[in-house]
Structure 1
Amino acid sequence: MRALIVVMDSVGIGGALDAARYGDEGADTVGHIADACAAGRADSDQRQGPLQVPYLTALGLGEACERATGRKPPGLQRRAGAGAAFGHAHELSRGKDTPSGHWEIAGVPVPFDWGYFPKAVPTFPPELIRQLCASAGLPGILGNRHASGTEIMAELGEAHIETGQPICYTSADSVFQIAAHEQAFGLERLYRLCEAARPLVDRFNIGRVIARPFVGETPADFRRTANRRDYAVPPPDSTILDVATAEQRHVVTIGKIADIFAHRGTGHNLKGENNDVLFTRMLEGIAMLGDGGLIFANFVDFDTLYGHRRDVAGYARALEAFDARLPELLNALRSDDLLVITADHGCDPTWGGSDHTRESVPVLIANGRTAGPIGARSSFADIGATVAAHLQISPTRHGRVFW
């Protein structure tokens, strides 16, 4: 008897009840990607035609979308398989960021508003930058504004290499991001800089400091590496990870989960450079997972490579590649295991700007015993509550069990 929580980062399905508050009314990541595929607007050398995700569809993705928005997207018209349990969940936390979504999935809705940097240029308080430069011996910084990470890297990467000044920027999320060249600046030096920045941004209630290392020699070949590291504040309450660890259950986390939870209760962490490698690491984690153990996995490429870059064809291709590997996951399950596939927010690649979108998320369940709809869940925390009940560990403070 084991449990797996698998987060398809940013794979929202529209229909958030409070989307208008965030300027996202009508955003629908899966639905709009499926529409684009059906209309031929997502064709590329790597993929053609309607969205093909038969295993997610068999688990009930089409039904989850229909319950969230009132329609089944094209390509997801097949009925869910006889053994599928499915639904969708709304977020209680007041944000559409990565920590809020993941913490709520783990049973801890965020009860406060995060701090955000203004869209003015420069965006960071002068005293913050002065203290950062003084603490790290920096001649100054570049950027100092809201920006797309890939765009600002291409724009300022050469100046960064020439001057030794790191590129500091933010987004609509509660983040302070620092990009630096792995060789010219140094990866360990970048990590130390982020560690210095973490306490400096605490007074602004910033959720994460993110190290964004990159390599390359010119804007044409600059690329971010898999050595990203997030420095997050810890969750404000005990998560399902804390509970499982306290009760001496085997915990394995995949990808950036350990960073998101500030390495609290995250057990044995397995990382990888992309979704495909992360999937393989997850299968390794399942093979080592003891009875009563928990796996918590994040697949980040949907968000960072395609959602934020508004790459519809790339996002569709990533969904299809993930789906193609699902039989490996399903075949690795025991009859008494619980698998929940979900998301933490949306990042509709057809939407304006480059930020996350406030959406409900799919909740697709495989456990060999329960099938059918689980309804509209009022909080992502229902996932953590259900996992705790399945593993027969102490309940989380928030959330209601699915059945």
Structure 2
Amino acid sequence: MPRVILCVLDSFGIGGAPDAADFGDEGANTLLHIATACAEGRGDIESLRSGPLYLPNLDGLGLGCAAHLSCGTLPPGLSDTPLGGRWGVGREVSIGKDTPSGHWEIAGVPVPFAWGYFPQTVPTFPEDLVDKIVAASGVPGILGNRHASGTQIIEAFGDESIATGKPICYTSVDSVFQIAAHEDHFGLERLYELCQTVFEFTAPMKIGRVIARPFVGEAPGAFKRTGNRRDFAIAPPEPTILDRISGEGGQVYAIGKVSDIYAGRGITHKIKAAGNMVLFDRTLEALEMAQDRALIFTNFVDFDTEFGHRRDPAGYAEALEAFDRRLPELIAAMAPDDLVIITADHGNDPTWRGTDHTREQVPILLFSPALSKGTIGLRQVLSDIGETIAHWLGLRPGPHGKSAL
């Protein structure tokens, strides 16, 4: 009864991408810089937590070895003597350092085109696009219209949005158009409808996603984004491992934002959840329900949205340790022929300049009671992960990548 549990620790990079300089990210290293800050007690780290980064379970599966291979440096607090499992390093070939690029490639489909992006100007969205949105949706205008952090721009424009009925529109260096509006005053379903309208205009521009960012609260300082985020995304251009599994009669449990990333394609069970620990709970519940040849696919988004983008190394460290503490629960729940894969889609170094993703290689940690320990080395394309899943579940090989087993 082989099954696969795929855990994507969103943004958990380990440095070393050979083309990082092309993205302005040469020297970025999410894991190394978090571990170093913890070991040295730098900045806010010392006041928020104490001691070196402690990840005994991830390290036991080869995290330290993967990090060492990726960048040539062993992060403080980690070791180069794994206890079990197989470990390696994943290198992305898709052009972007965004969520869809990393996830599509993990699922066996490298992105074959260049995404569209909005310029770093104020205003950032083309005037004709804004005019189309206003005319088609009936909103009285938009606020923001710039590159921004989601939490910061809601603080800046939230009260005006409530008063005027204008949604807050912003972007980042990713291929994305984000829309924030109040769940009650603007309306959640109305926000989703607006995002669908905007998606119809932006998809031909190869903008990867339009993201609904609902929030609650009545005044600055009390505004808070909710778990009702929804992504309207361009669908992958080829069948992914999700399509291949479900097409063969297998189950695909998409937990968190996974279904949105793949535009719902190949999903048999969609499970929405917010918060890393709730996502972990839903993963364990899916494992209890999953049948033969199932894929349980969870994106642990907090690493990225709560700590990477907000440049919070202490929070990132604590989130990693919280995930690590729960890893034995997952391993204990596995059947003898289950396989768990722990990886990431890109980096987001919380010590780096700016607020955006960083171009990094990622860890690939494999564990099964049926699998001997060892290394899978440096994988030249993240599609090797999808092909490893196909191999484990007995599916035919796909056109991109090669199984690591």
Q: How does the TM-score come out when normalised to structure 1?
A: 0.98
Match of 1:191 in 2: 192
Unaligned runs of 5+ in 1: none
What one-letter code is carried by the residue in structure 2 that aligns with 1:300?
V
CA distance in 1, matches of 2:15, 2:80: 19
Match of 1:53 in 2: 55
CA distance in 2, matches of 1:247, 1:173: 34
Q: CA deviation at 1:46?
A: 5.8
1:194 counterpart SS class: helix
What does 1:226-237 align with in structure 2 at a 5 Å threshold?
226-237=227-238
What does 1:2-401 align with in structure 2 at a 5 Å threshold?
2-41=3-42, 43=45, 47-77=49-79, 79-81=81-83, 83-368=84-369, 369-401=371-403
Distance 1:78 1:373, change over 3 A: closer
What one-letter code is carried by the residue in structure 1 that aligns with 2:79?
Q
Q: CA deviation at 1:269?
A: 1.3
Retained in 1: the 8 A contact 2:65–2:80?
Answer: no
Q: CA deviation at 1:249?
A: 0.4
CA distance in 2, matches of 1:44, 1:184: 41
CA distance in 2, matches of 1:311, 1:293: 35
CA distance in 2, matches of 1:203, 1:270: 29
Q: CA deviation at 1:78?
A: 5.6
**CA displacement 1:15-53 (0-9 Å, x = unmatched):** 001101100010000100000000112536663211011
**CA displacement 1:233-265 (0-9 Å, x = unmatched):** 000111000000100001111110000000001
Retained in 2: the 8 A contact 1:257–1:266?
Answer: no
1:154 counterpart SS class: helix
CA distance in 1, matches of 2:248, 2:134: 43
CA distance in 1, matches of 2:282, 2:353: 34
CA distance in 2, matches of 1:240, 1:274: 26
Q: Aligned-pair RMSD on alpha carbons?
A: 1.0
1:27 counterpart SS class: coil
What one-letter code is carried by the residue in structure 1 that aligns with 2:288?
A
1:32 counterpart SS class: helix
Retained in 1: the 8 A contact 2:38–2:46?
Answer: no
**CA displacement 1:311-332 (0-9 Å, x = unmatched):** 1111001000111100011111
CA distance in 2, matches of 1:171, 1:361: 22
**CA displacement 1:279-302 (0-9 Å, x = unmatched):** 000000000000111111100000
What one-letter code is carried by the residue in structure 2 that aligns with 1:70?
G
CA distance in 2, matches of 1:331, 1:320: 18
Retained in 2: the 8 A contact 1:43–1:49?
Answer: no
Retained in 2: the 8 A contact 1:46–1:317?
Answer: no
1:210 counterpart SS class: strand
CA distance in 2, matches of 1:133, 1:151: 24
**CA displacement 1:177-214 (0-9 Å, x = unmatched):** 00001111111110010011111112211000000001
Percent of pairs with identical residues: 58
2:316 counterpart SS class: helix
Q: CA deviation at 1:370?
A: 3.0
1:213 counterpart SS class: strand
2:49 counterpart SS class: coil
CA distance in 1, matches of 2:358, 2:22: 11
Q: How does the TM-score come out when normalised to structure 2?
A: 0.98
What one-letter code is carried by the residue in structure 2 that aligns with 1:11?
F
Retained in 1: the 8 A contact 2:65–2:82?
Answer: yes
Retained in 2: the 8 A contact 1:232–1:260?
Answer: yes
What one-letter code is carried by the residue in structure 2 that aligns with 1:127?
D
Q: CA deviation at 1:304?
A: 0.2
Q: Which runs of 4+ in 1 moved over 4 A?
A: none
2:45 counterpart SS class: coil
Retained in 1: the 8 A contact 2:6–2:296?
Answer: yes
Retained in 1: the 8 A contact 2:227–2:274?
Answer: yes
CA distance in 2, matches of 1:45, 1:71: 26
